[in-house]
Structure 1
């Protein structure tokens, strides 16, 4: 079963403590699809958390999806040297 999760507007350190348990819970349940269409800020800490979650998903034999990433979040990921595909693959 695929669990779709809407990512918060701002993926920053302040949101980390609230978002981390939620992401861990949905990753334990099977395939995860992360909807990043409304993300306006993507920080490094949450990016690392998404990579870790993707690695957890791979251990379970599934690959999470990052769908509909906003242009702004995509640009911020690119500045950190990442693509949405790399996050889904769990590539550091």
Structure 2
């Protein structure tokens, strides 16, 4: 069984892994042209989400409520990411 420190490390390892995959994609995939600001925004979103999930795990004790909050945080991340990528809502921050 994983201890609390290992679970927290795993939560923060996911954004690192995703950013490494994105940087490799940026190097080897044609048409994948992320700038430094793209990586900064992605890092902010991913590590912010990991931090919020870690905070929720530490503070909230009710498992079903904890799951609901974490699911909501991840859903918001996905919606913001999609809006920045392709502009599904048509905000001024919409992507290409």
TM-score with structure 1 setting the length:
0.28
Q: Which has the higher helix share?
A: 2
Q: Which has the higher strand share?
A: 1
TM-score with structure 2 setting the length:
0.27
Greater relative CO (CA pairs within 8 A, separation 6+): 1
